[in-house]
Amino acid sequence: MEEKLKLGPENFEALPKAEELDNEKIAAPSLTFVQDAWRRLKMNKGALISFIIIVLMIIISFGSTPFINHDSLVKSAPKYANLPAKIPGVPINGLNGKLKVSGEWVDEYKQNNVPDNKYFVLGTDYLGHSLAERIIYGTKISLIVALVATFFDLTLGVAYGIVSGWRGGRVDNVMQRIIEIISSIPSLVIVVLMLIVLKPGMTSIIAAIAISSWTTMARMIRAETLQLKSQEYVLAARTLGESPWKIAWKHLVPNLSSIIIIQTMYTIPTAIFFEAFLSFIGIGISAPQTSLGVLLNDGQKNFQFLPYQMWYPAIVLCVLMIAFNLLGDGLRDAFDPKTRR
């Protein structure tokens, strides 16, 4: 008979103690969903830079308001009209108070007898208003419009979508037909109808946003709710007798948070451009009040001879919209589990 092979402890080579401990260590740190999303967002340099730019613009536009003389935003000063930018200590033509006239650089501040201690960092418009102050205040107006659009997205849009997806059946069909009717009406038509009742300004823009801006959010939330309500944890909560509102708050909203945040980041630049467009064509905020759209409208009148009056607000508007779009792309990638590494 063949001898049985007996294996004892002496037949196995013991691992070094240090190597054995290393094998038992967790390879990666334990992170929550939010911490992991923030880690991946920081890896996206474009989104991180956009986030910093947005924060700085919010701080400047809202933090500088108490230091801006509101009378100077509406009262004209003809002696300071159409002055170019002047930054003390900067010898660059176009930023030192000089303007190119008939092929030669002319010091407009000296020609208009402007005091030496008086200068405008971004120049003035045709009424003598400081462009820097008006751009800061106009950016604030654009951000307020964006916050209003966000408010309706987060309240009406999210609630409408959850109710439609949760109830289903005939209720869902009726609610979706209402959204289709609202979406079929162009936003510009809604604004024109608002002008029949209201005067041009913030009120008519906010009313148009309140009527039509939330429909995209509602559709996305409704589609996701239809999937989530059949998940095991939701079915278990319903079996235990939890109310629909409690299930929505405890189970649906946390799982919808990524969609809500991402869609909000795309709603904001859309609302900013909507306000600028309406003000530019003259049915939004009108002079002497200011916004980025009003500044663009005023600047395009003198664009051939004084292009800086249009370039500066256009640059601010473009930077603001690009920053929000890049941040939205970064948040989409950060919250998408398929992109995790």
User: What is the set of domains in the chain, with CATH numbers?
Assistant: 45-77+130-335 (1.10.3720.10)
- Which residue carries 């002497």 as its tokens? 288
d(CA 73, CA 259) in angstroms, rounded, equals 40
Give the residue from 67, 240, 222 showing the smallest Cα distance to 157: 222
- What's the pLDDT score for residue 336? 66
Distances (CA, A) of 238 to 221, 249, 257: 20, 13, 21
* Residue 259 φ/ψ region, left for φ over 0, alpha for ψ in the -120 to 50 degree band, beta for the rest: alpha
Give the residue from 238, 213, 204 showing the smallest Cα distance to 158: 213
Note the pLDDT tens digit of each residue in 251-263: 888 888 888 888 8
d(CA 144, CA 275) in angstroms, rounded, equals 10
What is the average pLDDT score of the chain?
Answer: 81
Peptide bond into 186 cis (omega under 30): no
Percentages helix, strand, coil for the chain (3-state, rounded to 5) are 70, 5, 30
Average pLDDT over residues 312-337: 86
Note the pLDDT tens digit of each residue in 74-90: 677 788 888 888 888 88
- Which residue carries 């959850």 as its tokens? 162
Q: Helix (H, G, I), strand (E, B), or coil: what is residue 251?
A: helix
Q: Determine whether 287 is exposed, middle or buried from the number of CB atoms within 10 Å of its CB (0-12, 13-18, 19+).
A: middle
Name the least confident of 32-36, 136-140, 235-239.
32-36
More confident position, 323 or 230: 323
- What's the pLDDT score for residue 335? 76
Token reading at 17: 């103690």
CA angle 248, 271, 267 (to 5 degrees): 35
- Which residue carries 């009003």 as its tokens? 294
- What's the pLDDT score for residue 53? 93
With contact defined as beta carbons under 8 Å apart, do 283 and 200 qualify?
A: yes
Average pLDDT over residues 215-234: 87
Residue 158: pLDDT over 70 = yes
- What's the pLDDT score for residue 173? 92
- What's the pLDDT score for residue 56? 93
Q: Helix (H, G, I), strand (E, B), or coil: what is residue 101?
A: strand
More confident position, 103 or 178: 178
Residue 177: pLDDT over 90 = yes
- What's the pLDDT score for residue 133? 87
With contact defined as beta carbons under 8 Å apart, do 64 and 136 qualify?
A: yes
Residue 27: pLDDT over 60 = no
- What's the pLDDT score for residue 281? 81
Q: How many other C-beta atoms can be found within 10 angstroms of the C-beta atom of residue 270?
A: 18
Please give the distance of CA 209 from its chain centroid, rounded to a whole number. Answer: 15
Residue 15: pLDDT over 70 = no
**Element (H or E) spanning 229, and its range?**
none
- What's the pLDDT score for residue 1? 44
d(CA 2, CA 242) in angstroms, rounded, equals 68
Q: Choose from 11-15, 148-152, 332-336 the range with maximum mean pLDDT.
A: 148-152
Note the pLDDT tens digit of each residue in 277-300: 888 887 777 766 788 888 888 888
- Which residue carries 């002496």 as its tokens? 10
Could you give the percent of the chain with pLDDT greater than 90?
9
Q: Helix (H, G, I), strand (E, B), or coil: what is residue 331?
A: helix
Could you give the percent of the chain with pLDDT greater than 70?
87
Residue 174: pLDDT over 90 = yes
d(CA 120, CA 277) in angstroms, rounded, equals 27
With contact defined as beta carbons under 8 Å apart, do 142 and 295 qualify?
A: no
Name the least confident of 76-85, 212-221, 265-274, 330-339.
330-339
- What's the pLDDT score for residue 337? 57
Letter string b/e over residues 46-85, b meaning 16 or more CB atoms within 10 A of that residue's CB: ebeebbebbeebeeebeeeeeebeeeebeeeeeebebbbb
